[in-house]
């Protein structure tokens, strides 16, 4: 069976990807930071068939060890310090993980693959934040990148490093430019989840208003042109906006009812 190794497996994308690959018959492995990571139990509960390896995107040796232990055919780099606001508070950590972490992941794949650099397929999760001060609407794969936060700059670095390794070493390395995507597994620090949790709480009489933070984005007019994914991959959306909203609110209602007894 094919084997996949995933960084960022504790996040919403990592969990959903794990479920998808397992359903396709993959042997799925994940890299998790620290032996006592509080999210380890979540991964083991949601996807118990995943094999976890301790590692860190800032530590090349740990990535090489995980590669050796898992022997993957595919490497999905979803790991990052992904909260844009935090990147302004700690640009150094964001750069080390979100930027240099990509270089470490690519280097681990290259060194592990040896004389056959394309034998392990590498996927980098790039971000629409790279477009920043947008130069055209909608944005596509050829739109000029103009990052406007430390997080976005780090993502641009990882994006171009992936291109560089593909062109320089002949690796099978690809990037997917991900625009905002939401789910019940979205972290509570993100605005969409803050809204769905607040709506659920208001409906149960647990609070009477939604308190928001800064309503002026770092960036605006991020609208993705997904025609290449339609044409090349045959991708089409299966969940509409209203369904997504209902899914998230219903999920948070269930959580609050369980915790509050209402």
By three-state DSSP, how is residue 177 classified? strand
Q: Is 141 a catalytic residue?
A: no
Q: How far is CA 154 from CA 96, 147, 230, in A?
A: 8, 9, 28
- Secondary structure string (H, E, C) spanning 55-113: CCCCCHHHHHHHHHHHCCCEEEECCCCCCHHHHHHCHHHHHHHHHHHHHHHHHHHHHHH
Find the distance separating the first CA and the last CA of the chain, reported in whole Å. Answer: 46
* Domains identified in the chain and CATH numbers: 3-178 (3.40.50.720), 191-260 (no CATH)
Of residues 54, 51, 11, 48, the one with CA closest to residue 35: 54
Contact 130, 145 (CB under 8 A): yes
CA distances from 156 to 18, 72, 139, 211 (A): 26, 26, 15, 32
Q: What is the pLDDT of residue 217?
A: 63
Nearest residue to 153 (alpha-carbon basis) of 102, 217, 220, 204: 102
Q: Are 4 and 73 in contact (CB under 8 A)?
A: yes
For residue 101, count CB atoms less than 10 angstroms from its CB and return exposed for 0-12, middle for 13-18, buried for 19 or more. buried
- Predicted pLDDT of residue 212: 83
Per-residue DSSP letter, 131: G
The pLDDT value recorded for residue 198 is 95
- Global pTM reads 0.94
All residues at 6 or more sequence positions from 192 whose CB lies less than 8 Å from its CB, including other chains: 180, 182, 186, 248
> Is 127 an active-site residue?
yes
Q: φ and ψ at 121, to 5 degrees?
A: -80, 130
Q: Which of 123, 129, 149, 182 is catalytic?
A: 129
Q: Helix H segments across the chain?
A: 12-23, 40-46, 60-70, 84-89, 91-94, 101-113, 150-169, 191-203, 227-228, 241-260
pLDDT, position 247? 97
- The pLDDT of residue 211 is 85
| Cβ atoms of residues 115 and 45 within 8 Å | no
Would you give the distance in Å from CA 48 to the centre of its chain?
20
Of 26, 76, 123, 151, the active-site residue reads 151
Euclidean distance between CA atoms 84 and 112, whole angstroms:
32
Catalytic residue among 70, 82, 127, 175: 127
Query: Which burial class, exposed, middle or buried, applies to 216 when counting CB atoms under 10 A from its CB (0-12, 13-18, 19+)?
Result: exposed
Instruction: State residue 262's pLDDT score.
Output: 76
The pLDDT of residue 220 is 77
Catalytic, 160? Answer no
Consecutive sets of 10 residues in the chain, 262 residues long: mean pLDDT of each?
97 97 98 91 97 97 98 98 92 98 98 97 98 97 97 98 98 97 93 95 94 77 96 95 97 94 78
């Amino acid at each position: 069976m094919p084997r996949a190794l995933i960084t960022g497996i504790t996040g919403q994308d990592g969990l959903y990807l794990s479920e998808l690959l397992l359903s396709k018959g993959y042997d799925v492995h994940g890299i998790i930071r620290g032996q006592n990571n509080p999210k380890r139990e979540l991964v083991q509960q949601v996807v118990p068939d995943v094999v976890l390896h301790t590692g860190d995107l800032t530590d090349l040796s740990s990535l090489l060890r995980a590669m050796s232990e898992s022997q993957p055919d595919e490497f999905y780099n979803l790991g990052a310090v992904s909260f844009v606001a935090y990147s302004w508070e700690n640009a150094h950590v964001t750069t080390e993980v979100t930027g240099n972490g990509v270089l470490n992941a690519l280097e681990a794949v290259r060194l592990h693959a040896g004389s056959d650099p394309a034998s392990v397929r590498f996927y980098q999760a790039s971000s629409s934040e790279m477009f920043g001060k947008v130069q055209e609407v909608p944005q596509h794969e050829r739109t000029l990148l103009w990052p406007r936060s430390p997080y976005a700059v780090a993502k641009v670095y990882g994006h171009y490093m992936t291109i560089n390794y593909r062109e320089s070493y002949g690796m099978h390395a690809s990037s997917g430019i991900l625009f905002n995507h939401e789910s019940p597994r979205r972290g509570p620090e993100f605005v969409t989840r803050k809204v769905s949790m607040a709506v659920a709480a208001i409906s149960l009489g647990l609070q009477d208003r939604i308190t928001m933070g800064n309503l002026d984005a770092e960036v605006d007019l991020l609208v993705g042109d997904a025609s290449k994914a339609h044409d090349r991959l045959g991708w089409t959306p299966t969940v509409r906006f209203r369904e997504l909203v209902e899914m998230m609110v219903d999920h948070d209602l269930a959580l609050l009812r369980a915790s509050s007894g209402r």
